[in-house]
Structure 1
Amino acid sequence: MRDPKRIEEVITQLREFWYQNPDLRLGQILTILSKKTDVFYLEDDELIKRLKEANSTF
């Protein structure tokens, strides 16, 4: 079973990114973060990593 604590981290990082970039739609954000990886296969820990990177560079 996956750790349910990851959910809050994903949401927190996504919220921070989205507030910095309010003109983007959710689908656009996920496409940007997927970096040519099918979003279906993108693990949450990798998504968190990419969100943290994006939050520090966008």
Structure 2
Amino acid sequence: MELEQAFRLSDFYIQKLDDLHTAQEVQNLHEEMVIDYTGRMRREIRKDVISKHVSDCKDISIAT
């Protein structure tokens, strides 16, 4: 992920965090943020993949 995009994403979630009032809301935002970030990183990693076999290997290495 490019540095600028990472900063924008961080700012986005910090702004959302400012509006929360309970621990459960913070936990829910954290889960949303983790899923969003990991999905974005997975798409970045897959951009350079040439074959399905390489993609499968990368998926296995990410899962472990």
The TM tier, using the shorter chain, reads 0.3 to 0.5
TM-score (norm 1): 0.44
More helix as a share of residues: 2
From the CA coordinates, give the structure whose radius of gyration is larger: 2
Give the TM-score normalised by structure 2: 0.41
